[in-house]
């Protein structure tokens, strides 16, 4: 397949969640004429979320897809050129950065803002996807409030699972923690915190077989003991998956510094990467907070960093 002629832009934004759209709003207002490549899931993880009640400015809450539509309209209002597509390769070897979209279109850019996010790891159950957003969640901080006073279950054995279980325990009547092996992977400090929380019940050597419900809401989960093969059903209204996230950074490997999990490493206090003119914002470089509001904040930072970089290089027209 022959490549189309190369197009050159001042600011290219890869990804379209809260970080990407906020970067676009700031970059467009700074007259950087940003071009955004949305990725295969325009709007990012929030488009799979129903109620969002913890983002400032929405006193009655909002729906995740509607919120991302608001972000998109605001970015377009200031002139962002939003294009549906997927980045298939990059070349960051020179001062001008080359990005190939859908294996056919080459764009060169003075600055690149990477906001490709991270994807939650799931168990792979059909029922898990069926009830995703309707009782199944990968973010206790985001959705725990909706299960106040109820019984819930969480699957996972690492620090994140332990932290989310103790968070849920403050809101929920009972938290079942499903651990696949006969021990935690979490740090000793986090293990002690879970073990000392009276309304958390740890179920070891067990795996979730199915989430059950009425087609609209969750009413329980069926689990199986890995040793005895005995099955039982837990009556819960919420099911949280905390087995980790995978940053969407494969296409940037070999070009950008990353940690052992694949998150892009940025210079502390900034969004700068190890490549001049390439910036990273949102969950793609944040494995700690992973909230829409923190992603939006870092998207703002990335656009300001890009603007200052261009000003210093005297590239701004």
The predicted-structure confidence for 36-47, as pLDDT tens digits, reads as follows 999 988 888 777
- With a pLDDT cut of 70, the percent of the chain lying above it is 97
> What's the first-to-final CA gap in the chain, in angstroms?
34
pLDDT of residue 4: 58
Put simply, whether the predicted model's pTM sits higher than 0.95 gets the answer no
In the predicted model, is pLDDT for residue 2 greater than 80? no
Q: Which of 31, 70, 81, 139 is catalytic?
A: 139
DSSP state of 187: -
What's the mean per-residue pLDDT of the chain? 92
Q: What does the pLDDT average to over 180-197?
A: 90
d(CA 63, CA 216): 17
pLDDT of residue 5: 62
The yes-or-no answer on residue 142 being catalytic is yes
Q: What is the per-residue pLDDT across 237-273, written as a single tens digit (0 to 9) for each?
A: 999 999 988 999 999 999 999 999 999 999 999 999 9
Q: Which of 11, 142, 172, 300 is catalytic?
A: 142
Q: Which of 143, 151, 283, 305 is catalytic?
A: 143
In the predicted model, is pLDDT for residue 27 greater than 90? yes
Q: What does the pLDDT average to over 76-105?
A: 95
In the predicted model, is pLDDT for residue 224 greater than 70? yes
What DSSP letter does each residue of 41-96 carry, written as one string? STTGGGGG--EE-SSTT-TT-EEHHHHHHHHHHHHHHTT-EEE---EEEEE-SSSS
- Identify the CATH assignment for 7-119+246-312 out of 3.40.50.720, 3.65.10.10, 1.20.1250.20, 3.50.50.60: 3.50.50.60
- Determine phi and psi for 84, rounding to 5 degrees: -75, 125
Same fold flag, 7-119+246-312 and 122-241: yes
Q: What does the pLDDT average to over 11-39?
A: 97
pLDDT of residue 316: 43
pLDDT of residue 155: 97
Instruction: Indicate the burial class of 278 (C-beta count within 10 angstroms; 0-12, 13-18, 19 or more).
Output: buried
* CATH level 3 topology of 122-241: FAD/NAD(P)-binding domain (3.50.50)
Domain ranges of the chain: 7-119+246-312, 122-241
Bridge-based pairing of strands 62-63 and 51-52 is antiparallel
Q: What is the per-residue pLDDT across 129-178, written as a single tens digit (0 to 9) for each?
A: 999 989 999 989 889 999 999 999 999 998 889 989 999 999 999 999 99
């Amino acid at each position: 397949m022959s490549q189309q002629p190369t197009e050159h832009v001042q600011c290219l934004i890869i990804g379209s969640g809260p970080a990407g759209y906020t970067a676009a709003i700031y970059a467009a207002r700074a007259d950087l004429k940003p071009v955004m490549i949305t990725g295969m899931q325009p709007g990012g993880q929030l488009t799979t979320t129903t109620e969002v009640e913890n983002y400032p400015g929405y006193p009655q809450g909002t729906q995740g897809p509607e919120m991302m539509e608001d972000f998109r309209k605001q970015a377009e209002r200031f002139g962002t050129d939003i294009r549906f597509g997927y980045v298939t390769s990059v070349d960051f070897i020179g001062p001008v950065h080359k990005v190939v979209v859908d294996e056919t279109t080459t764009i060169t850019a003075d600055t690149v803002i990477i906001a490709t996010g991270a994807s939650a790891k799931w168990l792979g159950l059909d029922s898990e996807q069926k009830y995703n957003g309707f009782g199944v969640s990968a973010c206790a901080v985001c959705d725990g409030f909706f299960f106040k006073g109820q019984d819930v279950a969480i699957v996972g054995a690492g620090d994140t699972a332990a932290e989310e279980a103790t968070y849920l325990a403050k809101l929920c009547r009972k938290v079942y923690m499903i651990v696949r092996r006969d021990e935690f992977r979490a740090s000793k400090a986090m293990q002690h915190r879970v073990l000392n929380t009276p309304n958390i019940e740890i179920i070891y050597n067990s795996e979730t077989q199915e989430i059950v419900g009425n087609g609209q809401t969750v009413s329980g989960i069926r689990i199986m003991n890995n040793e005895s093969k005995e099955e039982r059903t837990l009556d819960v209204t919420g099911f949280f998956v905390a087995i980790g996230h995978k940053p969407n950074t494969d296409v940037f490997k070999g070009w950008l510094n990353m940690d052992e999990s694949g998150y892009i490493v940025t210079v502390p206090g900034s969004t700068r990467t190890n490549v001049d003119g390439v910036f990273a914002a949102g969950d793609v470089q944040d494995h700690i907070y992973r909230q829409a509001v923190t992603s939006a904040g870092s998207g703002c930072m990335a656009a300001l960093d890009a603007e200052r970089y261009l000003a210093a290089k005297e590239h701004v027209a």
